[in-house]
Amino acid sequence: MKRISILGATGSIGQSTIDLVARAPEDFKVVALTGGRNVKRLAADCIALGAEVAVTAHDDLLPDLRAALEGTGIEAAAGVQALIEAARRPADWVMSAIVGAAGLAPGLAVLEEGTTLALANKESLVTAGPLLLETARRTGARILPVDSEHSAIFQALVGEDKTAVSRVIITASGGAFRDWPLDRLAKATVAEASSHPNWDMGQRITIDSASMFNKALEMIEAREFFDFAPDQIEVLIHPQSVVHALVGFCDGGLMAHVGPPDMRHAIGYALNWPARRALPVATLDLAAVGRLEFHTPDLMRYPALRLAREVMTRRGVSGAIFNAAKERALDHFIAGHIVFTDMQSVVEEVLDALCDAPEARNAGLTLDVVARMDHLARMRADQVVSARKT
Ligand code: NDP
C-alpha cells in the first residue's frame, strides 16, 4: 500500500488526484491533505479518504477545520509551518498541487525527506529549479513531472539515451485569443480571457494560456527539469490539444505523446509510476479528431515566449522575478488596472529593472533569496502599474 499526501488537495489538480486515489482505496493510505480557504471540501475529503492530518494554509480557518473534523480522530493544523510539517510526514509519494510560489517550500520539504514528489506546481521549477534538483540529488528523492507537456516528454524519454535528443517541442492550444486580430487584444476582457478552447482549468491558468505566460513557464520548467539547452526547446501551436509534446532525436525521429486533454492521465502516470494502470480517461478517437495542425507561434501575439527565452538563458533568480512579476501583472489585469496586452510589458519592465540589479547578480539560489526576489518583483510590478495609471 502506497502512503500518499496531496498538497493543494482542494484545487483542480488535487481533486483529480483524489478522484484517482478514491477509485483504488486498497492501493493507497492517505497521510496528509492540505488546502487553502476551502476547509469544507478539505474536511470532507479527509473523512472520505481516512487521512491522518488536514492542514489549511490559513490560521484564521483552523477553528472551522477543527469543527468540521470533530469526532473523526483526524488531526487539524493551520499555517505555512504546518503545511511544511505535513509535507515532511513519512510518505512514499506526495503531490505538489498548491498554486503559485506558495508551493515551493512544501515541495522542497518533501524532497529534503527523500520522498517522491509528483510536481504539478510549475512555479517551483521556474523559481528554484536548481535548488530542487540539487536537493533531490542529495537525498535520492525522485521528481515526477505532472504538467501534461512535461509528463509527455518524460514518457517519450523512457528507455532513451538523453544525449540522443536533439530538441523537444511543447505544444500550446493558443488560448482564447488564438484567432483574434492583434489590434483587438488590448480590448480583451477578463471574462473573454478566462475561457479556454480545450482544457477545463482554473481562471488564472486559463488567462495565462491566453497570454501564453503559461507556456513560457512550461518552457522554463522543461529547461530546468530535463536540462535541455534553451535552443532545444520549441513551442508549436496545436489547436486540437491532443499531442502534448514531441521529442526529436539525432536520427531525425520524433516521438509524440498523444492523449485526450484530461489531467488525470498525467496525474495517474505519476501516481502509478513506474507501472501503467488503467485510468478513467476517455479513449482518444483519432478519426474523430480528424486533423492535427501545428503552427509556429507569432511572437507579436505571444511576447511571453520571447521573455521565457531570456529567462532560460539568464537562469539564477530571473525565474523567480519573472514568475512574481507575471503573477502580479495578472492580478492587475483581473482587477482592471491594466489591459490584457500590458501584462507582458509590465513583466518585461520588471525583468529589465531587477535581473541586473546587484542583489540579483550576486545571489545564490536559496529559499530566502527566492522569497526576496519574489517580493521585490511584486513591488516593482505594482510601481510600474501605478506609474502607468498616473
Ligand atoms: P487551483 O487554484 O485549482 O488549486 C490550488 C490549490 O492550492 C488549492 O488546494 C488551494 O486551496 C491551494 N492554495 C491556494 N493558495 C494557497 C496558499 N497560499 N498556500 C497553500 N495552499 C494554497 O490550482 P490548480 O489545481 O489548477 O493548479 C495547481 C498547480 O498545478 C499550479 O501550479 C498550476 O500551474 C499547476 N498545473 C495545473 C494544471 C491544471 O490543469 N489545473 C495543469 C498543469 C499544471 P483552496 O482552493 O482551498 O483555497
Query: What string of DSSP letters covers 218-285?
Result: HHHHHHHHH---GGGEEEEE-TT--EEEEEEETTS-EEEEE--S-HHHHHHHHHHTTS----S-PPP-
Express each pLDDT in 31-45 by its tens digit: 999 999 999 999 999
Q: Which of 5, 13, 65 gets mutated to test ligand 1 (max ligand atoms within 8 A of its CB)? A: 13
Least confident of 20-24, 29-33, 90-94, 193-197: 193-197
Nearest alpha carbon, ligand 1 atom 7: 98
Cα(99) to ligand 1 centroid in Å equals: 3
Query: Where are the domain boundaries for CATH 1.10.1740.10 in the chain?
Result: 316-390
Sheet holding 243-249, edge to edge: 233-237, 165-172, 243-249, 254-258
How high is the pLDDT of residue 205? 87
Q: Which atom of ligand 1 lies nearest, measured to the CA of 16?
A: 25
Nearest alpha carbon, ligand 1 atom 4: 11
Q: Which atom of ligand 1 lies nearest, measured to the CA of 106?
A: 20
Pocket of ligand 1 (CB under 6 A): 8-14, 35-38, 57, 83, 97-99, 102, 120-123, 147, 201-202, 205, 263
Least confident of 37-51, 136-150, 279-293, 360-374: 360-374
Report the distance separating Cα 325 and Cα 185, nearest Å: 20
Write the DSSP symbol of residue 215: H
3-state helix, strand, coil in the chain (%, to 5): 50, 15, 35
Least confident of 86-100, 196-210, 308-322, 344-358: 196-210
294: helix, coil or strand?
Answer: coil
Cα(132) to ligand 1 centroid in Å equals: 19
**95 bridge partner residues:** 6, 118
Statement: the pTM of the whole predicted model exceeds 0.75: yes
Tell me the mean pLDDT in the region 330-338. 97
Cα(97) to ligand 1 centroid in Å equals: 5
Cα(207) to ligand 1 centroid in Å equals: 14
- Kindly state the percentage of the chain with pLDDT values over 90: 92
Asked: is 316-390 a CATH 1.10.1740.10 domain? The reply is yes
Dmax (CA) of the chain: 62
Radius of gyration in angstroms for the set of CA atoms belonging to the chain, rounded to a whole number = 21
How high is the pLDDT of residue 362? 66
Tell me the mean pLDDT in the region 243-265. 96
* Cell numbers given for 235: 513551442
Instruction: Specify whether the CB–CB gap between 135 and 141 falls below 8 A.
Output: yes
Q: Which of 12, 99, 151, 244 gets mutated to test ligand 1 (max ligand atoms within 8 A of its CB)? A: 99
Give the position of cell 488526484.
17
The answer for residues whose C-beta is within 8 angstroms of residue 334's C-beta and 6 or more apart is 190, 203, 204, 207
Q: Which atom of ligand 1 lies nearest, measured to the CA of 214?
A: 34
Tell me the mean pLDDT in the region 220-240. 97
Nearest alpha carbon, ligand 1 atom 11: 36
Fold assignment, 2-145: Rossmann fold (3.40.50)
Residue 363 — pLDDT band, cuts 50, 70, 90? low
How high is the pLDDT of residue 358? 76
Least Cα distance to 171 among 257, 232, 253 occurs for 257
Cα(6) to ligand 1 centroid in Å equals: 11
Query: Where are the domain boundaries for CATH 3.40.50.720 in the chain?
Result: 2-145
Cα(353) to ligand 1 centroid in Å equals: 29
Report the distance separating Cα 229 and Cα 328, nearest Å: 28
Report the distance separating Cα 147 and Cα 149, nearest Å: 6
Q: What amino acid occupies position 133?
A: L
Cα(122) to ligand 1 centroid in Å equals: 10
Q: Which atom of ligand 1 lies nearest, measured to the CA of 123?
A: 32
Residue 195 — pLDDT band, cuts 50, 70, 90? confident
* Cell numbers given for 241: 490539444
Position 202 pLDDT exceeds 80: no
The answer for residues whose C-beta is within 8 angstroms of residue 106's C-beta and 6 or more apart is 7, 34, 83, 84, 86, 87, 96, 98
How high is the pLDDT of residue 364? 79
Q: Where are the beta strands (DSSP E) in 124-253?
A: 143-145, 165-172, 233-237, 243-249
Q: Which of 10, 56, 62, 205 gets mutated to test ligand 1 (max ligand atoms within 8 A of its CB)? A: 205
Is the alpha carbon torsion for 51, 57, 59, 64 positive or negative? Answer: negative
Tell me the mean pLDDT in the region 216-220. 98
How high is the pLDDT of residue 382? 98
